[in-house]
Amino acid sequence: MSLLRTRGLTRRFDGLTAVEDVDFDLPEGQVRALIGPNGAGKTTFVSMLCGRIWPTCGTVEFAGRDVSALPAHKRIALGMAYTFQITSVFPRLTVAENVGLAARRVRLEGEGARLAQALKRVGLGAHHKALAGDLSYGHQRLLEIAMGLAQEPRLLILDEPTQGLTDAEIDAFKALVRALKAATTILLIEHNMSVVMEVADRVTVLDFGKVLAEGPPAAIRADRAVQAAYLGAPA
């Protein structure tokens, strides 16, 4: 059964169709990558999944429930968590306080232990007393992931999580995703194709607001239509 499902999902802005008639199924326990060129509709699509914007038409289902009309905070309470493409931490709060706020959004018991575990998993355990605004951009990205993990979501949506990370941090992120997949379904919006090819079970490609292709990473890499639209010819 799909944990996340859309049918005919469409969003128009003043006559411009950003996402058009997208049918999408994400089974529980899968790591799915969503890729495509700039302007392909990825952010708009994810924003509709999360409840940040409403679809013009079509439906979003989560865990068998139609959530198309639910606001973002109610989807979070059902088990969705997401990070933004642009960092959205509270810069004047400590790292620990940021994660604590995220945990309290879903009223978790044992918050302290979950907070510490989330920070340790992303490599920020030693920075728990630092102000979030004093972290490097890459560490702020990792803090956002920790904030998502603290909610113990059924679905974790990560929008450009490796942007600004060092090579070593990217390697650690890949290991983190592999460790998480046993307990959490992950939707990954990512431009770093090394990350996509190494951690995703399946890849969905958007182009001009429509699904261009979908399949295992190797098949997507070899797909001529995907190469023409996004990847370029293989070396």
pLDDT for 117 equals 87
**pLDDT tens digits, one per residue of 127-146:** 989 999 999 888 888 898 88
Q: Which positions ≥6 away from 127 have C-beta within 8 Å?
A: 95, 119, 135, 139
pLDDT for 89 equals 85
**DSSP secondary structure, 146-184, as one string:** HHHHTT--SEEEEESTTTT--HHHHHHHHHHHHHHTTT-
Is pLDDT above 50 for 82? yes
pLDDT for 235 equals 41
Is pLDDT above 70 for 108? no
14/12 Cα distance (integer angstroms): 6
Q: pLDDT tier at 224 (50, 70, 90 boundaries)?
A: very high
Q: pLDDT tier at 214 (50, 70, 90 boundaries)?
A: very high
With a threshold of 0.85, does the pTM exceed it?
yes
Is pLDDT above 80 for 125? yes
The mean pLDDT value of the chain amounts to 89
Mean pLDDT of 70-85: 87
CA 217 centroid distance within chain: 18
Lowest pLDDT segment from 12-16, 110-114, 122-126:
110-114
200/209 Cα distance (integer angstroms): 21
pLDDT for 198 equals 95
Radius of gyration of the chain (CA): 17
Is pLDDT above 70 for 111? no
| Residue type (1 letter), 31 | V
Q: Which positions ≥6 away from 134 have C-beta within 8 Å?
A: none
Mean pLDDT of 79-83: 89
**pLDDT tens digits, one per residue of 146-204:** 888 888 899 999 988 888 888 988 998 898 888 888 889 999 999 899 999 999 999 99
Query: Percentage of the chain surpassing pLDDT 70?
Result: 93
Is pLDDT above 70 for 232? no
Query: Percentage of the chain surpassing pLDDT 90?
Result: 59
- Bigger pLDDT: 20 or 144? 20
